[in-house]
């Protein structure tokens, strides 16, 4: 693909950073799926606790209704995270086009992911099982990929690409 006349070449570090971000978002999909699977494994206990809390206030509610609500909430949460990951893909695309706001947003996301990874490393491990381990490992890998991408975006060779006056 030939860039249009007057277009700036994308520095290799920025291209690599975008690839790292795409990889981090793909790992995010793995993390969402495995987190949902880990939570689904505990859905009966969660539904039972919710039922006990609600049944005292509303005796007409059945356990089956609460179990259905729990499944619907899990589905909505998974959909929400997948929409956020899709928005992340759009932001990474803008990063590759040299948008400073995209670099800033992704830097904030990398900090958030890094804090989550630290929490995973030093957390109590309240949720057990293979799906929870995969989700935790995916969170750590995602934070490392995002950290590398942010580092590349702030290198001396990348910095002019994000300046508005150089477009």
pLDDT tens by residue, 79-113: 998 899 999 999 999 999 999 999 999 999 999 99
> Is there a domain that residue 146 lies in?
yes
> Is there a domain that residue 5 lies in?
no
Q: Is the pLDDT of residue 134 over 90?
A: no
> Is there a domain that residue 22 lies in?
yes
> Is there a domain that residue 113 lies in?
yes
pTM: 0.82
Q: Is the pLDDT of residue 46 over 90?
A: no
Name the more confident of 135 and 86.
86
Tell me, what's the pLDDT at 115?
A: 94
Number of domains in the chain: 1
Return mean pLDDT, the chain. 87
Q: What are phi and psi of 30, to 5 degrees?
A: -60, -40
> Is there a domain that residue 72 lies in?
yes
Tell me, what's the pLDDT at 2?
A: 43
> Is there a domain that residue 6 lies in?
no
Tell me, what's the pLDDT at 6?
A: 53
Name the more confident of 127 and 102.
102
Report d(CA 90, CA 96) in Å as an integer. 10
Q: Which of 39, 44, 34 is nearest to 131 (CA)?
A: 34
> Is there a domain that residue 167 lies in?
no
Mean pLDDT of 3-31: 87
Domain hosting residue 79, numbered range: 12-160
> Is there a domain that residue 59 lies in?
yes
Mean pLDDT of 34-55: 85
Q: What is the largest CA-CA distance in the chain?
A: 71
Tell me, what's the pLDDT at 49?
A: 87
Q: Is the pLDDT of residue 23 over 80?
A: yes
For the chain, give the percent of residues with pLDDT over 90.
53
Q: Is the pLDDT of residue 62 over 90?
A: no
Report d(CA 70, CA 75) in Å as an integer. 9
- The DSSP line for 17-54 is HHHHHHHHHHHHHHHHHHHHHHHHTTHHHHHHHHHHHH
């Amino acid at each position: 693909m030939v860039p249009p006349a007057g277009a700036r070449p994308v520095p290799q570090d920025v291209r690599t950073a975008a690839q790292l971000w795409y990889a981090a978002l793909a790992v995010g999909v793995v993390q969402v799926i495995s987190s949902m699977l880990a939570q689904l494994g505990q859905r009966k206990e969660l539904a039972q606790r919710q039922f006990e809390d609600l049944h005292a206030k509303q005796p007409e509610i059945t356990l089956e209704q609460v179990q259905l609500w729990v499944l619907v909430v899990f589905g909505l949460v998974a959909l929400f995270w997948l929409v956020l990951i899709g928005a992340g893909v759009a932001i990474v695309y803008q990063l590759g086009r040299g948008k400073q706001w995209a670099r800033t947003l992704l830097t904030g996301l990398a900090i958030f992911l890094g804090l989550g990874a630290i929490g995973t490393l030093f957390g109590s491990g309240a949720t057990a099982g293979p799906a929870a381990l995969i989700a935790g490992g995916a969170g750590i890998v995602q934070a490392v990929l995002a950290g590398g991408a942010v580092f590349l975006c702030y290198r001396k060779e990348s910095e002019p690409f994000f300046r508005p006056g150089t477009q």
